[in-house]
A = this chain, B = another copy of it.
Amino acid sequence: MSKTKTHQEVLTANKTYAENFGEKGKLPLPPARHFTVLTCMDARLDPAKYAGLAEGDAHVIRNAGGRASDDAIRSLVISYKLLGTKEFFVIHHTDCGMVLFNNQIMGDLLSKSLETATVDQNGWRDVGHGPGSPEGTKIDWLTFTDEDQAVIDDVKKIRNHPLVPKSIPVYGYIYDVRTGKLNEVPGAAEAGAAS
């Protein structure tokens, strides 16, 4: 099977990385710096770069929105319980795609077509020609409308989860995609404080 250009580019980049791997092959499984970052899948975010992580330093969990989904909680619990992390960072970002739609819009778009939709000042528009699927109407897409509140909600969900120890502080930040800066969300420190 011939490979796409993208597929081949990834393999070529990997070859170069592996050729200069050095001592990284000796790193142990548990994170050396004992913390975990939960952040968005957004392409503009590189948590290793924006938070200063070398290979081996910290767990990184990413999903659409950087939300404290049940699956993110699964990962956070594995992170501290089996691999010894002691601090959690929840890091959303400005200009997040999760504020541009909601469950109704996504369910409708997917029902019409599985092709990529387009967006303009009049909202989302589906230019696809089907087939679509009604399955999208059954999913909670975890969108939000208020950036700060979404971080607070996620910090609180983690803080109050019965499987998360009270000793682990949960920090709440928003990464500014225009400046690269992490800005603490007002109220997050109190909402996520250890006790």
Contact = CB atoms under 8 A, between A and B. Distances in A.
Contact of A6 (B4, B33, B97, B182): B33
Nearest to A135: B162
Q: How many of these chains are in the complex?
A: 2
Interface residues of A, number: 99
A97 B162 CA distance: 23
B78 A97 contact: yes
A63 B61 contact: yes
B56 A114 contact: no
A58 B13 CA distance: 14
A142 B57 CA distance: 23
A124 B77 CA distance: 15
Contact of A58 (B43, B63, B109): B43
Contact of A48 (B46, B61, B98, B135): B46
Interface of A: 1, 4, 6-7, 9-18, 21, 24-25, 27, 29-36, 41-46, 48-53, 55-64, 69-72, 74-75, 77-84, 86-87, 89, 95, 97-98, 100-101, 106, 109-110, 114-117, 119, 124, 133, 135-136, 139, 141-142, 162-165, 169, 171, 177-182, 189, 193
12 contacts: A10-B51, A10-B89, A10-B182, A14-B52, A25-B180, A43-B59, A77-B139, A78-B106, A82-B100, A82-B116, A83-B116, A133-B162
